[in-house]
Structure formats: structure tokens, C-alpha cells
Amino acid sequence: MAQDPQPKSEMPIISLLPNVLTLAAICAGLTAIRFGFHGDYARAVLLIVLASVLDGVDGRLARLLKSESKMGAELDSLADFLNFGVAAPLLLYSFALQDMRRAGWIAVLVFSVCCVIRLARFNVQSKEPKTEAASQYFVGIPAPAGAMLAMLPMFVSFLVADGPVVPAELVALWMVIVGFFMISRVPTYSFKILTISRKNVRFFLLGAMVLIAALFSYLWVTLVVLDLVYIAGVLWAWRTYAKKD
């Protein structure tokens, strides 16, 4: 005997998992702010890294489960702004910019405004049809990468000492520069379309485990290396995109 179709008013609980991950990322960002103002920068940075990972997972999981929704998309944008446009610059302000007061706060505001503009532009562009070449690139630096790049002076400082070693003025200037790159037209690689052959999956998983272990064992040097690799990737993407034009 055939079962009655599932009522449209009900939905599988597993389809809510992407939104749960997004909310978990929001909690991670808020907790990072708390740890930052208590001076526990290692935990704060790890929480922002966790938020970045969750940001990359929730959307893919939603597509895999076929549970994409307008509410999920809005939650994702709000989480990105909180984690990368608010938590990250506040963490930097607490770490290096409090002595600058007005100028340091202006740098925070500029970065946050650039982040929210970047996210708004991405939301608009994601609804527009794209060519195959354009779909391989983001326009401007994505918000998660921008947050990690902005915190590079913090990573360098803890790599060589126990406190700020980069002058506050340079930290503020670097934040503003990264913010402008987020709203720029600079092409950056879109990792959403990257694929890997099945025979190399085991090596990818091994590399991911090594990276996670490095983050817990050698946090600051790993983050500095990742930032430098990403900067090199941006320069390479800029070059290859220019050749296609």
C-alpha cells in the first residue's frame, strides 16, 4: 500500500542543518569578540577560522541536501558580516588600535563598510547570469579572506613576540587597504568550482588533516603562511584573468 505523500507543511529536520551551521558560525564570531576583549587572541582567531570553515560548508551542504532557501541566504550574509566585517576588525582594534582612538576606529569603520558593500554586491551578482570565465573568479577579495588578510599584522606580531610589533599606524593603513581590495574589481579565484579527481581524494583529506593539526600546533606561522599564499594566489589570478581578456 502506497504511503501518503509527506505534507508540504513539514520538512525533514536534516534540511535545517545548513542553517544550524550558519547560526553556529554566528555564535563563533560573537564568542571571538568576547575572547578578544579578554585578551585571549589565540582562541578568538581560531573561532574566526572556524567561522570561515562553516561559511564554506553551509552553502555547499544546502545545495547537497537541496534545502536552499531565501532565509538561509540572508542568514549567510548576516553571519558573514558579523564574523568578518565586525568580529575581525574589533579583534584588531582590541589588539593594536586602542591607543589610536579616533584614527584606529575610523580604520575599523572603513573596513566594516567595505565588507558590507562587498557582501551586498556579491548577493546582487550571484543572481545574475555569468559567463564560464567569469564564474571562475570572484570580483574583489571575499569577506572571509579579507578578514584573514586584515589580521595579518596580528599573526606576525604573535609569531615573533607576545604583543604588537607592527606600528598601529601600519595596522590601520593595512586594514583600509584590504577593505578597498574587497570592493575593488580585482579578480580572485573562486574555490567553489575547484574539483579533484577521485584517486587524489585521500591526499586532499590528508592535507586537510595536516592543516588542521598545524593550526592547533603552530597557529601563527600557519596563518602567516596561508595569508602569503593567498596574496600570491590573488596576484596570479589577476595575471591569468588579464590574459583571458
> What pLDDT does residue 238 have?
80
What was the pLDDT predicted at 142? Answer: 92
**For residue range 93-124, what is the model confidence (pLDDT) as tens digits?**
999 898 887 899 999 999 999 999 999 988 88
* Residue ranges of domains in the chain: 14-244
The Cα-based distances of 11 to 16, 52, 207 in angstroms read: 9, 28, 36
Name the CATH superfamily housing domain 14-244: CDP-alcohol phosphotransferase transmembrane (TM) domain (1.20.120.1760)
pLDDT digits (tens, 9 = 90+) for 49-88: 999 988 888 777 777 777 777 777 888 889 999 999 999 9
Among 39-43, 185-189, 215-219, 228-232, the minimum mean pLDDT is found in: 185-189
Is the model's pLDDT at 1 over the cut of 50? Answer: no
Q: How far apart are CA 68 and CA 57, in angstroms?
A: 13
Distances (CA, A) of 140 to 55, 73, 132, 205, 238: 18, 20, 18, 29, 10
The stretch 176-196 carries a mean pLDDT of 83
As a whole number of angstroms, the distance between CA 197 and CA 204 comes to 10
Q: Are 17 and 63 in contact (CB under 8 A)?
A: no
